[in-house]
């Protein structure tokens, strides 16, 4: 294919200047042909249209500056009011034009044109069809200045998100079918699932903190994993990584993230996570309200995990109640530990080697790339920072509880008493704490 492209470039270069200008084939290189082939596979014949030679959209001639000003003013007014229909918005637009421009002959277009323009301008106004309070909250958050953040290296942006696992699993204590939550950390550049967690209850800030610790730590090899799932990346020899990690390491990238993108859930928006991010030196980039495009890669990853793996697992309960089977609880056959091992094996063996059809890098748009190959290319270009966290980091990321030591009953945490006769509390018994709130490690702080 490369030889055919080179021959085609040579053939086009032999055309006369006038003929090349008429055919719009002047200045064509092999890179142009590769980009056109990739665009054709993704969009079909429409992808071959050169947008640089297309005229810009001229808008609607019936929407003059006066009507545009009226539409914007009515939109600002509707943000603070209860939700109204498009017919009422049309009346407000007519009223604004008559009151503000009484001496001009302004022709307001038909209501169908106004409705169509209102729908087209949703990119400026925000989401359409949402609840009114969500529309106001989305409009209150200013759009990011300049161009959006485009990841150019692993670890630059890591997206965190959680969802209920659509598979019923068995509790490891009583063996009853339960619903667990799946929380993943996805690297925005390589689309690698660098860490994940299964929690029997809704995710908490502690689980998110441990998830970030898993991003920094290498994944050890598990029983039954072959050589094909071992550390495959150049730039960091497997023997050196195994020596630093204390054992063989699986083929999953690990690094210190520079920034994380989270939504506005309770587990991702609290003081504990802010303290954890400060400890790790990670910037927190909250996603905008009612803007799913800020975490689109993570949402697509959830859909891919569902279609490629979870729909084939016994206990699949579907997405909607109307599409649910007769008794998905009775079909549950995997425990929480077995499901966690299955997900870990599938991520290392399948997801990390799966071809990314729509996420090819800019430097090779028509190439065949996977999360592992993208990380390997970045490692060959920039190197790998083998920074394995110390075991003490586990305790540094736990939430802090400031408690009072009782001489007879110990300390009370979460409504329960602990350490009534524990020697670990002996240094704190009978010691008056310093005025104010103690810091970590001081008397009166956590044991």
Those residues whose C-beta lies under 8 Å from the C-beta of residue 127, and which sit 6 or more positions away, are 134, 135, 138, 290, 291
Q: Is 7 helix (H, G, I), strand (E, B) or coil?
A: helix
Q: Residues 75, 92: contact at Cβ < 8 Å?
A: no
**Residue 12 belongs to what H/E stretch?**
helix 2-13
Backbone angles phi, psi at 240, to 5 degrees: -70, -45
Question: Which residue has 């030889």 as its token pair?
Answer: 3
Q: Do 325 and 331 contact (CB within 8 A), yes or no?
A: yes
DSSP states along 230-251:
B---TTS-HHHHHHHHTS-BBS
Pairing of strands 177-178, 181-187: unpaired
Confidence (pLDDT) at 146? 42
> Could you list the mean pLDDT of each consecutive 10-residue stretch along the chain, which spans 447 residues?
88 83 78 85 79 59 86 87 87 92 88 84 60 69 54 90 92 88 93 93 86 93 91 84 89 92 86 90 81 80 92 86 82 91 95 84 80 90 84 89 82 85 80 59 44
In the DSSP assignment, the letter for residue 287 is P
pTM of the model: 0.68
CA 371 to chain centre: 15
The superfamily in CATH containing domain 158-390 is Ribonuclease H-like superfamily/Ribonuclease H (3.30.420.10)
The whole-number pLDDT of residue 123 equals 54
Structure tokens at 42: 């993704």
Q: At what angle do helices 271-280 and 205-216 cross, to 10 degrees?
A: 20
Longest dimension (CA), the chain: 98
Cα within 13 Å of Cα(29), Cβ side: 1
Contacts of 384 (CB under 8 A, 6+ apart): 233, 235, 236, 255
Q: Where are the alpha helices (DSSP H) in 14-156?
A: 17-23, 30-43, 65-79, 86-100, 111-120, 122-125, 132-140
Whole-number Cα distances in Å, 156 to 8, 189, 261, 366, 378: 39, 8, 11, 24, 12
Q: Cα dihedral sign for 355, 151, 30, 21? A: positive
DSSP 199: E
């Amino acid at each position: 294919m490369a030889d055919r492209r080179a021959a085609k470039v040579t053939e086009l270069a032999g055309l006369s200047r006038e003929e090349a200008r008429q055919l719009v084939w002047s200045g064509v290189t092999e890179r142009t042909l590769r980009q056109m082939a990739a665009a054709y596979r993704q969009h079909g014949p429409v992808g071959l249209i050169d947008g640089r030679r297309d005229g810009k959209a001229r808008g609607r001639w019936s929407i003059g500056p006066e009507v545009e000003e009226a539409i914007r003013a009515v939109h600002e007014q509707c943000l603070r009011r209860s939700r109204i229909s498009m017919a009422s918005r049309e009346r407000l637009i007519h009223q604004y034009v008559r009151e503000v421009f009484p001496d001009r002959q302004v022709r307001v277009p038909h209501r169908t044109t106004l409705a169509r323009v209102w729908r087209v301008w949703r990119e400026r106004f925000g989401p359409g069809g949402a609840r009114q309070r969500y529309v106001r909250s989305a409009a209150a958050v200013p759009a990011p200045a300049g161009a959006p953040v485009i990841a150019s290296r692993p670890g630059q942006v890591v997206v965190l998100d959680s969802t209920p696992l659509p598979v019923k699993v068995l509790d490891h204590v009583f063996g009853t079918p339960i619903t667990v939550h799946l929380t993943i950390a996805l690297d925005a550049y390589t689309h690698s699932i660098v860490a994940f967690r299964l929690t029997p209850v809704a995710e908490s800030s502690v689980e998110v903190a441990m998830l970030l610790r898993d991003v920094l730590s290498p994944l050890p090899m598990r029983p039954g994993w072959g050589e094909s799932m071992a550390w495959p990346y150049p730039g960091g020899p497997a023997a050196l990584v195994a020596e630093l990690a204390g054992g063989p390491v699986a083929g999953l990238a690990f690094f210190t993230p520079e920034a994380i993108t989270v939504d506005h859930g309770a587990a991702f928006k609290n003081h504990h996570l802010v303290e954890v991010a400060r400890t790790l030196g990670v910037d927190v980039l909250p996603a905008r309200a009612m803007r799913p495009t800020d975490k689109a890669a993570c949402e697509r990853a959830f859909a891919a995990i569902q279609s490629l793996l979870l729909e084939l697992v016994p206990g699949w309960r579907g997405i909607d109640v109307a599409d649910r089977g007769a008794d998905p609880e009775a079909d549950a056959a995997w425990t929480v530990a077995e499901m966690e091992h299955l997900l870990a094996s599938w991520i290392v063996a399948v997801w990390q080697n799966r071809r990314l059809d729509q996420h090819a890098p800019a430097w090779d748009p028509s190439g065949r790339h996977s999360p592992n190959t993208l990380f390997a290319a970045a490692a060959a270009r920039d190197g790998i920072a083998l920074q394995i966290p110390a075991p003490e980091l586990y305790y540094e990321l736990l939430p802090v509880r400031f408690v009072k030591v009782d001489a007879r009953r110990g300390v009370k945490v979460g409504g329960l008493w602990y350490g009534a006769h524990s020697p670990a509390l002996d240094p704190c018994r009978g010691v008056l704490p310093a005025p104010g709130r103690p810091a970590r490690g001081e008397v009166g702080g956590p044991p």
